[in-house]
Amino acid sequence: MAKQKGIFKVEGTLGDVTFYKSKDGYMIREKGGISAERMASDPAFERTRENQAEFGRAGKAGKLLRTAFRPLLQHAADSRMVSRMLQTMMRVVKADATSPRGQRNVLDGELELLENFEFNEAGKLGQTFFAPFTGTINRPTGALAIAIPPFVPMEQIAAPAEATHFRILAGGGSLDFEHEQFSTDTDASALLPLSGTPTTAISLQFSVAANSTHPLMLVLGISFFQQVNGNSYSLKNGAFNALAIVRVSGV
């Protein structure tokens, strides 16, 4: 691999040489690799094909989860969240102790490994929100809930310096990883002041199909605002907002 020097910043392919831009600058590499046909049929690459199959399942599972909770993720995710979730999903897949190599999947893996996954490394829920809460999943009725007893915001929340208000938000859902379908519900508290006055009890409730045979999940987050002249503004477009998976019920 070589690095480009000079006044011309070239990107693209010329013959068997590819010019591209990376975090280290403008680079050059020789075109190579094996053909797709050989990769798909050569016995020498059987392990590679197995790894690719499981990698693909993990990727699809992560995409489904992100899509299911997209309304909450829009303002509470960092730029590396997708790759971090893929790594976690691969751990879930590799925990499958029943399927043969290459056929391991998230349903037969350990979905509980997703608990405490933080969607925003810059604003982790575990380092932001310290009030106790209880997450409950009632599979027979399809009722999911997060209950937060009264707490003092100034004592239980590590808020950005500019923040004057906050909102607790959460979601619950049923995810069908096999057919790539989902059913989710979201809820949020009122906009609350960051003060020394205790809040009232907060109850966030969700509903999915009763007796679901799919994995069920609860996510919990907090978003921060600055109130100026009666108007509320999200701080730095949600850079400090936190969101995490707090309960997982596999099948």
Domain parsing of the chain, residue ranges: 2-32, 38-249
- 68 touches 175 (CB < 8 A): yes
**Model pTM above 0.85:** no
| Residue of 33, 5, 40, 34 whose CA lies nearest to 19 | 5
* Interval 152-194: pLDDT, tens: 999 999 999 899 999 999 999 999 999 999 999 999 999 999 9
* Interval 27-74: pLDDT, tens: 656 565 666 676 566 666 677 888 889 999 999 999 999 999 999 998
